[in-house]
Amino acid sequence: MRSLSSRLLVSVSVLLLLFFGATIAVLDTAFSEAGEQARRDILDGHLVALLAAAEPDDTGKLMLPERLREPRFENIGSGLYAELRDTDNQVLWRSRSALGLEVPSGVAPELGNHLFAREILPDGTPLLTLSLAVQWEFADGTLKPYVFKVAESLDSFNAQIAGFRRQLFGWFAAVALTMLLAFSMLLRGLLKPLRLIETEITEIEEGKRASLSGEFPTELTGVARNMNLLIDSERARSDRYRYTLDNLAHSLKTPLAAMRALLNDHRTEGFSGRVNEQIDRMDEIVRYQLRKPAASVTENLVLKAVPVEQEVERLVDGLRKVYHDKHPEFEVRIESGMQFRGDTGDFLELAGNLLDNACKWCKRRVRISVVPSVGARAIATGMVLTVSDDGPGIPKDAAEALLQRGMRLDESTPGHGIGLAVVAEIARSYGGRLSIKKSADLGGAEIMVSIPPLANARAQ
């Protein structure tokens, strides 16, 4: 069963079956014991009445009158029987109701004791019997032992028990069905938010909705929030792929135009060197623009914890090889155990673009710092990524333009700015922001990316 509703209904049905089964067993046992005790009390009353009615006859034998106060003793086959036996187990008297029947003698009780027993008539009728052994004192002072015995057929009692059980099972079955129906209706209402999430996700897939609504119970708020964060992150990533291809086409225009001009004047001195320079530039642009989608497309869409220190070390090692002629000095300041909650490719773009720019324009020193961001208690810690260098810096009038898509500086012109618009877009997709200023101690540019804690990202 894949349906959560079906699983819950089956589970509740099993629990109700066990609970009601135990309840029925307890009630049945209590009813049976109470009924049997009531019949024992009635038999004890009949036995006392027999003792009161017993009188010795003219021959000196103990006898009972022909008619007793209990009319059932006089009705043949009434189900209530009585008899009197002597010590030799000989029947001295038997009620008219036992005419034609042989009431089992059973086990004789000890003198002065009552004995309840279950016995069976020859025709298979079950009986509940009560026997009492007494010493009867006659007028002359002699004592003789006798056994008084009363018996009652259990057919009516067993029929009552069977009727009670049928009613018990019927009522409990009705109650169980009613409870299951009520629980099914209640479950339908309780699972309505889950069906709403499913419907809204389908609408998102069909392009009819941009994100999940916030009208969910507290238990599902975190699911909806993280789902919206994932959707926004994926949508931003798709936009970046489209922008990357647009940037690639736009960036290649300048080198192609330069090569066209050089081909028109191929006799110019240094032609070969300048053509190779433009070819290298085109290769660099293609590799730079296509590296991002190629590296990110295989990443899992589920956000995960990225080890910051490990990824930064990999980036620094790679940049040392790329800029081996410049021999940049890296200063890495990362808090121990720092993690970035998001896509690995996004973090590599953030740190990689900023470090690449810093290495490209620094004189010698490059510094990267990653610390947790200050915020309220959240699901995942945010971060503050800062990259600074000792290069010429970024002019204030150009800093804002570098963060606007379509207003980037010409990549063939020396200066900062390559990839900063993409870095800003990644930061915004996580609810963060990017700022540019002059480094107080290094003198070059200082670029800071602030990513808030995950729980606060949606509010930015």
Res. 169: pLDDT tops 60: yes
Query: Is it true that 4-160 and 299-460 share their CATH fold?
Result: no
pLDDT for 281 beyond 80: no
State the pLDDT at residue 41: 93
More confident residue, 141 or 419: 141
pLDDT of 307 strictly over 70: yes
Region for 308 from its dihedrals, namely left if φ exceeds 0, alpha if ψ lies in -120 to 50, beta otherwise: alpha
Q: How do the residues of the chain divide into helix, strand and coil, expressed in percent and rounded to 5?
A: 50, 20, 30
Q: Is the pLDDT of residue 415 over 50?
A: no
Amino acid at 296: S
Which pLDDT belongs to residue 352? Answer: 87
pLDDT band at 43, cuts 50/70/90? Answer: very high
Please check the confidence at residue 227 and state whether its pLDDT lies above 50. yes
pLDDT of residue 64: 85
Amino acid 73 reads: F
Query: pLDDT band at 164, cuts 50/70/90?
Result: very high
Domain boundaries, given as residue ranges, for the chain? 4-160, 299-460
**How far is residue 104's CA from residue 3's CA, in Å, rounded to a whole number?**
63
Give the model's pLDDT for residue 260. 62
In the prediction, which pLDDT does 251 show? 56
Whether pLDDT at 456 is above 80: no
Q: How far apart are CA 350 and CA 423, in angstroms?
A: 5
Q: Average pLDDT for residues 391-418, to the nearest whole number?
A: 63
Query: Which tens digits make up the pLDDT trace of 63-84?
Result: 888 788 888 888 888 889 999 8
Residue 416 has pLDDT above 80, yes or no: no
Compute the average pLDDT of residues 217-230: 81
Of 128-142, 183-197, 291-305, least confident by mean pLDDT is: 291-305
Higher pLDDT, 372 or 245: 372
Cα separation, 27 vs 356, whole angstroms: 81
What residue type is assigned to position 440 of the chain?
Answer: A
User: How does residue 300 score in pLDDT terms, banded at 50, 70 and 90?
Assistant: very low
What whole-number distance in Å separates Cα of residue 255 and Cα of residue 285?
Answer: 10
- pLDDT band at residue 448 using 50, 70 and 90 as cut-offs: very high
Angstrom distance (rounded) from CA 286 to CA 216: 46
Fold that domain 4-160 belongs to in CATH: Beta-Lactamase (3.30.450)
| CB-CB contact of 255 with 281 (8 Å) | yes
Q: pLDDT-derived band of residue 150, with 50, 70 and 90 as boundaries?
A: very high
Residue 390 has pLDDT above 60, yes or no: yes
Let me know: does 453 contact 378? Beta carbons within 8 Å.
Answer: yes
pLDDT reported for residue 280: 64
Strand partners, 331: 367
Q: What is residue 388's predicted lDDT score, i.e. its pLDDT?
A: 95
pLDDT at 211 over 90: no
Residue 3 pLDDT more than 70?
A: yes
Residue 140 DSSP symbol: T
Q: Which one, of 70, 55, 34, lies nearest residue 152 by Cα? A: 70
User: Is 283 exposed, middle or buried (CB count within 10 Å of its CB: 0-12, 13-18, 19+)?
Assistant: exposed
pLDDT at 372 over 80: yes
In angstroms, rounded to a whole number, what is the distance separating the alpha carbons of residues 168 and 178? 15
Give the CATH class of 299-460: alpha beta
Mean pLDDT of 226-250: 75
C-alpha distances in Å from residue 293, one per residue of 20, 30, 213, 243, 277 = 61, 76, 30, 11, 26
Instruction: With CA atoms as reference, report the closest residue to 68 among 51, 56, 85.
Output: 51
Asked if pLDDT for residue 162 goes beyond 70, the answer is yes
Choice among 83-87, 107-111, 339-343, 417-421 with the minimum mean pLDDT: 417-421
In this predicted structure, the answer to whether residue 214 has a pLDDT above a threshold of 80 is: no
Is the pLDDT assigned to residue 296 strictly greater than 50? no
Distance CA 50, CA 70 (A): 10
Structure confidence at residue 424 (pLDDT):
86
Per-residue model confidence as pLDDT tens digits over 422-436? 788 888 888 899 999
Helix residue ranges, H only, 54-154: none
| Region 11-21 average pLDDT | 89
Cβ neighbourhood burial of 374 (10 Å; 0-12, 13-18, 19+): exposed
- Please state which of the ranges 111-115, 118-122, 396-400 shows the lowest mean pLDDT: 396-400
